Chain A
């Protein structure tokens, strides 16, 4: 669906992309993470032919649209007809209303009139702008602009939806609606490639995550695998509660009492069975046992460091 190989983009003396590799499969909701200046937006702009990388290749829908500094404009235009893009920090034309905006964007895709009108109505309903359909965009709040930006990205019913920090400026209700829309896209078999710095959002809607640091992909996997791997490397934190006190002296794990009959065990691996046996050997019983999962944020911070 989307493949990037050894992409290099240098701005003056800054190497924004340093041999980036990406492989996004059809139907994936791919969360693209990275600290500020890591190269997220540069990657997205390259995918759309908006900037010129110096080296590498980009393939969209199985067609190579870019190689070593040159876009194949014919192939790129064809690919863009199947893509929806929502940019970061953008506004739309202030003098147009949402209906006029979507109408003119639909014209770029040569959508027939009847279909266009139907689609515009559906989208304005979907993003909650039906009531303000004839108000000038110049009078919109940041959140309303974001909603319209999403609507324009969906006008062509895209197979690949590229979203750059899409939830910035949205209120909690808007964020929830936004996540629903992404889930709907996934259900419909669409591919979503979306960058965000709000990791909780990524964790909730994405099935695969890529972490870019200094222009290089440092990690790419499913969230489950990433967490498992992180636990394997960084160690397990297990919280247990027993029916009576347990003496943990002599064990190879680090144990900290947390209160009456409650302990935190830090171990290199998954030692839940060993803990169970150890407690049982002392004639005690485990009432609760919980492996504390790392948040994506913890993993991300560790990666960035």
Chain B
């Protein structure tokens, strides 16, 4: 497993798409923090800053690194078959499961590092806005990273399935992009519309009830979108009416405990995707 890991880790860090996506993401952080500072950053509370950081990192990193994870997975095997490197590797005394396991581990580590970069930049931004760097902030940031990593790993595993089904890496890349578009943009909007429509049946529905309905719909109808599941969990990190100066901060442990079903979906579906992806790799013709 270690052999596949060290090869894939070095390869992944040299992939252009990794640095392009991370570069764009980090560049987008800068104007967002400037805008917040200019529209009243001086009034921001510690709780508000942390709530903002968690929501913001979930959104930005979830989207950009999510695409990266899907693309990484979708070209993990077929591109190696095209180049012939997989034939060279698998002609050596290595077990297939060890090789794909090492590859998966390397992808997970690279994604963790990408998330860490995103979180560090985000944390620096929040500190720049005036929030103190507390132990709670560090703990919650780490928990958020773990949660996001789980979502990213699920997308990598989904990518592996694509990679074992679609022979051409360019076709797989196209399919992964379409899938990313559907998963991150189309379906959440469709479900958002359905939630809104359902809420119209109850004219007396309050803000909290609406949020609960939104969570219910997201859990039910977006169970296959890992970033949406993370969104449901991080939604309980704080209670806010949209004003960063008026936030009740609950913390990540509270949010995770409150949403076991979403955490279960994240873990369960990841295992299912990994199982399918690994099984296909173990049985496929590497030609």
Which positions in A face B, CB cutoff 8 Å? Answer: 41-42, 45, 48-52, 73, 77-78, 80-81, 83, 85, 87, 89-93, 95-96, 104-105, 107-109, 149, 152
Q: How far is the CA of A45 from the CA of B84 in the complex (A)?
A: 12
- A45 is contacted by which of B6, B92, B283, B286 (Cβ under 8 Å)? B286
B221 at the interface (CB under 8 A from A): no
Residues of chain B within 8 A (CB-CB) of A48 are 87, 90-91
B197 at the interface (CB under 8 A from A): no
- A77 is contacted by which of B11, B88, B94 (Cβ under 8 Å)? B94
Residues of chain B within 8 A (CB-CB) of A83 are 91
- A91 is contacted by which of B84, B94, B96 (Cβ under 8 Å)? B84
Q: How far is the CA of A298 from the CA of B283 in the complex (A)?
A: 41
Task: Check B88–A50 contact: CB distance below 8 A.
Answer: no
Identify which of residues 43-89 in chain B touch chain A, using a CB-to-CB cut-off of 8 Å: 83-85, 87-89
B7 at the interface (CB under 8 A from A): yes
Task: Check A45–B83 contact: CB distance below 8 A.
Answer: no
Residues of chain B within 8 A (CB-CB) of A104 are 3, 6-7
Task: Check A80–B10 contact: CB distance below 8 A.
Answer: no
Query: Smallest CB-CB separation from A9: which chain B residue?
Result: B285
Q: A45-B286, A51-B287, A52-B285 are in contact. Are A85 and B93 (CB under 8 A)?
A: no
Q: How far is the CA of A107 from the CA of B102 in the complex (A)?
A: 14
Task: Check B3–A87 contact: CB distance below 8 A.
Answer: no
A sample of 14 cross-chain residue pairs with beta-carbon separation below 8 angstroms, ordered by A number, consists of A42-B287, A50-B285, A51-B285, A52-B283, A77-B93, A80-B92, A81-B93, A85-B87, A90-B87, A95-B14, A108-B3, A108-B89, A108-B93, A149-B88
Identify which of residues 7-39 in chain B touch chain A, using a CB-to-CB cut-off of 8 Å: 7, 10-11, 14
Q: A41-B287, A50-B287, A52-B285 are in contact. Are A87 and B91 (CB under 8 A)?
A: yes
B95 at the interface (CB under 8 A from A): yes
Task: Check B84–A50 contact: CB distance below 8 A.
Answer: no
Other A-B pairs beyond A42-B287, A45-B285, A93-B85, 20, CB < 8 Å: A41-B287, A48-B91, A49-B90, A51-B285, A52-B285, A77-B93, A78-B93, A80-B91, A80-B93, A85-B87, A87-B84, A87-B88, A89-B84, A90-B84, A90-B88, A93-B11, A95-B14, A104-B3, A107-B3, A109-B92
